[in-house]
């Protein structure tokens, strides 16, 4: 274990208790599975608070920092309230995410609205609820947003999302910063966009530039380069348009440790690189130091979450493979089947600690590709055992579906050695509530 949450596979205070069961912050996972049934998402508040504090501490040398949680990673009212109380704002990408914040009584005064195809209704809703700013992604949206702002008699603060042309060494489906991306303005389009804002779109006020260069990033230099490129663009805009933008948003992307092969930097290392780049490049370019936004998603919540499943059927193909099937899979965690994501897991209810059997964990969904973990050593897994899959706090619940009409799992939050329900298990009635027969 290191001191940094994103460098550990397990939540803080994960141990085997006197009964021989896995527990997190004083909560026995086997008991939780019994009480709340499986599949079950479990979030540990201690781990979440520690990561939030690490982010705050890491950027404390640069007081002009605003931290937004990229809520696409995990949007629930209870989690949003915890992060709001820690001083985080939010990066949202849909009316649904905005609505969830408002439902949790969180105002939009520290919220950024991202996305490559926001609709008229979404923008209207965001402005009606006084969102702080919109990160505009393309020319279509500039025109649409100006119209919405005019209708509401507002001058709306915006950032322009750009693609700074940085490639990160991560899975190609989650790269977004390279030039060939569906997101944002290519640098060659910036002049035209700024001309339009300054001359035609009188209800928009450009405050800064925004980029996001990828996800599950293990390098630090890319953040230095990202800040440098954005500041150089700001300098060009200052010289060309006599307009000094004083806000930058560097997105999210810090990686976490899903398996022992993963080796992400800590948030302190990332923060140092970013702050160094801002200091050096602002000085070199003669710019004021800007307000800095960052938008971590995965690294803030992922390691605080685990998923619990019950093992059901097993199938052994002599000399080839043993499958053990769980009561969940690609509908509650689509990442392995979507982009080959890897996870670590353990049996939660076993006394012995020798991992002695290599198996493949199969989901229950009707796709051969619904394999949660291929070839993992587990402690003599048997029907009825509880499987704990680590690092499922991000992009699992938020990406879950009702594939095969299977109900979405519940989520509990561990706080003060007790678990409380923060998402109820979906019911059959809810599953068909929108059916019109
Ligand atoms: C614009 C933007 N900001 C932030 C994030 C969060 O990234 P991560 O979860 O890797 O920190 C994403 C993720 O896709 C994103 O698209």
Secondary structure of residue 127 in the 3-state scheme: helix
CATH number of the domain within which 324 lies: 2.40.37.10
Query: Residue 199, class by beta-carbon neighbours within 10 Å (0-12 exposed, 13-18 middle, 19+ buried)?
Result: exposed
Could you tell me if 343 and 422 lie in one domain? yes
Could you tell me if 283 and 341 lie in one domain? no
Mean pLDDT by 10 residues, the chain (437 residues): 86 94 97 98 98 97 97 98 98 98 98 98 98 98 98 98 81 59 92 98 98 93 95 98 97 96 96 98 98 98 98 95 97 96 96 81 97 96 97 98 98 97 98 97
**Cβ(197)–Cβ(206) under 8 Å?**
yes
Could you tell me if 289 and 334 lie in one domain? no
Catalytic residues: 366
* pLDDT score for 181: 83
Could you tell me if 183 and 142 lie in one domain? yes
Could you tell me if 278 and 384 lie in one domain? no
Residue 253 Cβ < 6 Å to ligand 1: yes
Could you tell me if 262 and 347 lie in one domain? no
The range of the structural domain enclosing residue 157 comes to 114-296
Choose the residue to mutate in 5, 55, 69, 72 for probing ligand 1, maximizing ligand atoms within 8 Å of C-beta.
72
**Cβ(18)–Cβ(39) under 8 Å?**
no
Distance between CA 437 and CA 435 in Å, rounded? 6
Q: Which of residues 296, 313, 334 is at a domain's end?
A: 296
CATH number of the domain within which 248 lies: 3.20.20.10
User: What is the total count of domains within the chain?
Assistant: 2
Residue 67 lies in a domain: no
* pLDDT score for 180: 78
Which atom of ligand 1 is closest in space to residue 217's alpha carbon?
10
Closest to 192 in 3D by CA, of 150, 155, 159, 237: 237
Considering only CA atoms, which residue is closest to atom 5 of ligand 1?
Answer: 252
* pLDDT score for 2: 65
* pLDDT score for 358: 95
Which atom of ligand 1 is closest in space to residue 114's alpha carbon?
1
């Amino acid at each position: 274990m290191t001191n940094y949450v994103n460098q550990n596979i397990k939540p803080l205070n994960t141990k085997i208790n006197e009964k021989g069961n896995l527990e997190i912050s004083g909560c026995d996972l086997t008991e939780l599975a019994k009480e709340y049934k499986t599949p079950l998402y479990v979030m540990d508040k201690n781990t979440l608070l520690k990561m939030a504090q690490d982010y705050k501490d890491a950027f404390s040398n640069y007081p002009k920092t605003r931290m937004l949680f990229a809520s696409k990673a995990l949007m629930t009212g209870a989690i949003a309230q915890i992060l709001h109380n820690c001083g985080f704002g939010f990066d949202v990408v849909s009316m649904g995410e905005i609505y969830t914040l408002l439902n949790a009584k969180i105002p939009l005064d520290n919220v950024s609205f991202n996305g490559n195809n926001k609709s008229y209704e979404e923008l209207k809703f965001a402005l009606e609820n006084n969102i702080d700013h919109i990160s505009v992604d393309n020319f279509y949206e500039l025109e649409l947003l100006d119209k919405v702002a005019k209708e509401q008699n507002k001058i709306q603060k915006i950032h322009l999302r750009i693609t700074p042309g940085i490639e990160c060494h991560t899975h190609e489906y989650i790269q977004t910063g390279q030039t060939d991306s569906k997101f944002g303005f290519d640098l060659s389009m910036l002049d035209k966009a700024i001309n339009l804002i300054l001359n035609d779109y009188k209800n928009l006020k450009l405050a800064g530039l925004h980029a996001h260069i990828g996800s599950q990033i293990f390098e630090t230099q890319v953040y230095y380069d990202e800040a440098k490129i954005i500041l150089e663009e700001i300098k060009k805009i200052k010289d060309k348009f006599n307009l000094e933008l004083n806000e930058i948003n560097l997105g999210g992307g810090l990686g976490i440790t899903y398996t022992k092969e993963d080796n992400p930097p800590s948030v302190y290392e990332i923060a140092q690189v970013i702050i160094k780049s801002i200091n050096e490049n602002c000085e070199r370019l003669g710019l004021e130091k800007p307000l800095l936004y960052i938008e971590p998603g995965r690294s803030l919540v992922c390691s605080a979450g685990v998923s619990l499943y019950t093992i059901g059927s097993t199938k052994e193909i002599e000399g080839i493979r043993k499958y053990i099937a769980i009561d969940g899979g690609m509908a509650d965690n689509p990442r392995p089947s979507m982009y080959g994501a890897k996870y670590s897991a353990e049996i939660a209810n076993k006394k012995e600690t020798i991992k002695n059997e290599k198996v493949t964990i199969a989901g229950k969904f009707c796709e051969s590709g619904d394999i949660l973990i291929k070839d993992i050593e587990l402690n003599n897994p048997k029907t009825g055992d509880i499987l704990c899959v680590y690092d499922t706090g991000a992009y699992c619940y938020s990406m879950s579906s009702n594939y095969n009409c299977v109900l979405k799992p519940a989520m509990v939050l561990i706080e003060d050695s007790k678990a409380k329900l923060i998402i109820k298990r979906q019911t059959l009635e809810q599953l068909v509530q929108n059916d019109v027969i």
